Structure 1
C-alpha cells in the first residue's frame, strides 16, 4: 500500500526527484574536494571513478528495493521488512542522527561563503545568526509543503549545477598536463594513494538514497525512485569528476595543494582577475542552502516511517501538506542547539565528536538496505523471477554492500567508536518504545498472565 498523505498533485515528479538526489549529494564539500585530494596525486581521480561505480550500484539497489516496498522511509522500510523491528529502528535512528547533525555542519560551513558574497565582517554573533538562518529558512520552506520543497530543490540544483558544470567543461579548454603533478605524490605506491584519497572522497555520494527515503512523495515510485537515484548519482558524478579534473589541469599542483578555494583559483586562472572567488562563493551558498532544503526533508522521513510502525513517538508520524512537521521542527531545533554549541563551546570538541558520529551513522542504513536486498533475493519464491535478473540483482546487492562496508572502513576508528556509542544510546529509546507498544491480540486482562513466565524465569 502506498503512503499517500497529501494529494497526488503534491508529489514529486521525476525531475524533482532527480534534483532531490543530486542536490543532497552535492553540498558544500565539492568546493574543497580538489585541494583535499591533490596531495595524493592524480590517483585520486581513479579513486573517484571506483567510488562512482559503487555509488551507482547502491542507487540501482535502492531502485530495486523501492519496486518491492514503495513507501516513505527507504532504508528503514527495507531493513524492517527483512530483519524486523529492531533492525528497522537502528536504521531509522542512525539516519535521523546523521541528518540533523550534518545539517548543523552544513550551516556552519556556509557561513564563510556567505561573508565572501556579502562582504560582511565575521564575528561570533554574526556567524551564529547566519548559521541559524541557514537552518530555519529551509525548515520554513519544508513546513510550507512538498510543493515548496520540490520547487526550491529544483531551482537550487539548477543554479548550483550550471556554474559547477561551466567550470568543469570550460576548464578542459585550459587543461595543461604539466599542472597535474605525479600520479602518486610522496613516493608511495599507487594502492596506498588510492586508499588514502578514497577515505576522503567516500562520503561524497551520501544522499544517493534520497528518492527512496521520500518514495511516498514520488509519483509512480516503483519506476521513478530507481530512475531518480541513478540519474541523480550520475549527474553528481559528472560534476565531481569533470570538475576535479578541470581544476587539476587548470591550477598548478603546488598551488592547488595549498589552495583554500580551488574552484575560485581555477576561475581566476581561466579568466584573470579575482572575481572567481565571489562567483564560486555564491554557487557554494546556493549549493549548501539547496542541500539543507533536501536534508531537512530527509531528517523527517525516517522517523515518520518508524512512527507509523510504533518505533518512534506518534507525533513524528503526522503530516501536513505532505511533510512530517514534527520531524522537521525537531531536526531544526536539534541542529540549532548543536550550532549554538559550536559557537559557544566549540573549543571543547563537542561539535567535532558529533560530526564523527554522522560519518558512521550514514553507513548503517546503507549496510542494512544492501543486506535486505540480499535477503529478499535469497528468499524470493516468485516463479517468474528470471535467473539472469536474479544473478544481476545479486551482483549489484553484493557490490552495494561492499561499497557500504568500504564507507564504514573509511570512517576511521574514532568515527566508528563514537558512532557505535551513540547507536547504543538508541537501544534505550527502542526499549522504551517497544514497551509502550500493545501486544497484538492481547488485552489488559492478559497482561499479568503474559508476564508470569518472565517473572518465573527471573526468580529462577
Structure 2
C-alpha cells in the first residue's frame, strides 16, 4: 500500500504536523455543492437535444442515472477510507503511485478551468434574454468575465461564503426546476410524445446516440469527495452528500425531461432553442416563460461556477502537497487554495477573451472537447483504485460480507466511466490524449525538483514514472 497524501514530500512546504483545519461544510452544504456542480446550464437544453432520438432517450437517462449513482457510492466509500482534500487524485495516488495521481490531478484541473470558460459563455445567452438590446462582442465579453470573477471573489472570501452562495443558488435553481418538473406532469399529454425511436436508428442505436449527448450530465458527482478536507465528519457526510446530491440532480433531470416531452409537441421540441421556456408557456400560456427560465439558468450557471471554481483549486492543492504540482498552489486562506482559484480564473478568462476578441471558435471548441475526455480520467482511476483496494484486501471499514456488493459497485462505476470515454467521440479522445500527455513535461520537471533540483544532482536517484512517493 502506498503512503497516504498526508505523508508529505520534503521541500514542498507542507508540514506533517499541521493542525487539523476547521471543517466548514456540513451535510446540507456538501449536498448543495454536489447538486449545484452537476446541474449547470445543460438541463435547459437537454430535452431538445435528445428529442430527435425519440422517447428512448428517457430510457438512456435512466440507465445513466444508475451508473452515476454507482459512481457516487464508490466515491463515498473512497472518501470514508481517505477523507482528504483532492478526492480522485488522492485515491489514484495511494493505489497506483505518483504518476497516476498526477494524471488524475492534471486531467481534473484541465476540466475545471476550461469548462468554467464554457459556462461563462453559456451564461451570456441567457443574460441577453433578461436584458435584451445590449448585444455586442464587447458587452458579451464583459458579462462573461463577470460570470467568471464574481464566483472567484466569493471563493477568495473563504469557504464560509462559498458554502453560503452554493446553498442559496442551489435552492433558487432547484425549486423552480422541480416546480416545472412536477407541475408539468399534470399537463402531460401522451399525444405530444414522438415515436419510441426516431430517425431510423433503432432501439439500440437511439439509446446509444441519446446517451452520448447525456453522458456528461452527471459530471460533478465527485465534488464532495474533492473537498472532503473541508467537510465536517467526512467519513459519513461525503458519501451521503454525494448520493443525495446525485439523486437530487437526477430527480430534476428525469422529471424535467419527462414534463417537457409531455407538454411540448415533438415536432416543435426538436427545433426548440429553449425547451423549458416552451414548456412553461404551454402549461400556463403567455410568453413569460422565457424570462423565468432565463433567470433560473443564470442562477444555475453562476452557482455551478461558484462550485467549480473551488474544484479548480482543490485538485492542484492536494497534488502540490505531495510535490507533484508547483508549491504556489499550496497558498491557502480561509479554507480556500487562493492561488489555484486565481490561476483558474485567469486561464478561463484567457480562453474567454480568445473566444470573443479573436473569434477563434475552432480553438475554443477544441479545448471544450478536451474537457469531455479529461472528466473520465480521474473517474476511471478512482474506480480502478477501489477495485485495487478490494482485491488486495485493503478494505478499511468494509465487512467481509460486503465485498461482493462493493466490488460490483466498483465494476459498475468503472463500466459507466468507460462508457463515458466511448461516448466522448474520436475527436474528444484524440485532443484529450494529446493534452494529457503534454502534462508529462510538468511531471518530469516536478520529479526532477524532488530528486535533487537537477538531472545529475549528487546522490539523487531518478524518479521513475509510477513510483510511489517516499515518506
Q: Secondary structure at the match of 2:199?
A: helix
Structure-1 residue corresponding to 2:47: 34
Once residues 370 and 431 of structure 2 are traced to their aligned partners in structure 1, the CA distance between those partners, rounded to angstroms, is 6
Could you tell me whether the CA contact under 8 Å between 2:103 and 2:439 is conserved in 1? yes
Q: Deviations over 1:195-214 (max 9, x none)?
A: 00000000000000000000
Aligned position for 1:448: 458
Q: Deviations over 1:219-264 (max 9, x none)?
A: 0001111000000000000000000000000000000000000000
Alpha-carbon distance in 2 for matches of 1:325, 1:141: 11
Between the aligned partners of 2:428 and 2:447, the Cα distance in structure 1 is: 28
Structure 1 counterpart of 2:15? none
1:186, distance to aligned residue in structure 2 (A): 1.6
Structure 1 pair 450/294, CA: closer, same or farther in 2 (3 Å)?
closer
Question: Given the two structures, how large is their TM-score scaled by the length of structure 2?
Answer: 0.92
Output the CA distance in 2 between the equivalents of 1:253 and 1:346.
35
1:190-339 equivalent positions in 2, closer than 5 A:
190-339=203-352
Q: 2:98 aligns with which of 85, 100, 105?
A: 85
Which residue in the other structure is 1:430 paired with?
443
Q: What does the per-residue CA deviation read over 1:290-345, in whole Å, with 9 as the maximum and x for residues that have no partner?
A: 00000000000000000000000111012100000000000000000000010122
Instruction: Note if contact 2:5-2:94 (Cα within 8 Å) is conserved in structure 1.
Output: no
Q: Could you list the runs of 5+ residues in structure 1 that have no partner in the other structure?
A: 455-460
**Which whole-Å CA distance do the structure 1 matches of 2:130 and 2:304 have between them?**
18
Give CA deviations for 1:1-47 in whole Å, capped at 9, x if unaligned.
99887853x51000000000000000001000000000000000000
Aligned equivalents of 2:259, 2:397: Cα separation in 1: 48
Secondary structure of 2:25's counterpart equals coil
**Partner of 1:97 in structure 2?**
110
Distance 1:384 1:357 in 2: 37
Does the residue aligned with 1:186 lie in a helix, a strand or coil? coil
**Partner residue of 2:420?**
407
Asked whether the equivalents of residues 74 and 409 of structure 2 are also in contact (C-alpha less than 8 Å), the reply is: yes
More helix by share: 1
| Cα separation, 2, equivalents of 1:239 and 1:320 | 35
SS in 1 for 2:344: helix
2:355 matched residue in structure 1? 342
Distance 2:367 2:396 in 1: 48
Is 1:71 paired with 2:81? no
> What residue number does 1:183 align with?
196
Deviation of the 1:347 alpha carbon: 3.8
Match of 1:132 in 2: 145
CA distance in 2, matches of 1:297, 1:100: 10
TM-score where L is the length of structure 1: 0.94
Partners of 1:279 and 1:173 lie apart in 2 by: 20
1-structure distance, mates of 2:270, 2:179: 23
Tell me which of 159, 164, 170 is aligned to 1:146.
159
Do the aligned residues in 1 keep the contact of 2:34 with 2:223 (CA within 8 Å)? yes
> What residue ranges of structure 2 are gaps of 5+ in the alignment?
7-17, 465-471
Query: Offset at 1:383?
Result: 9.8
Matches of 2:262 and 2:19, distance apart in 1: 49
| 8 Å CA contact 1:72, 1:301 repeated in 2 | yes
CA contact (8 A) 1:5 1:322 kept: no
**Alpha-carbon spacing, 1:436–1:195, altered in 2? closer, same or farther (3 Å):** same
Q: Which runs of 4+ in 1 moved over 6 A?
A: 1-6
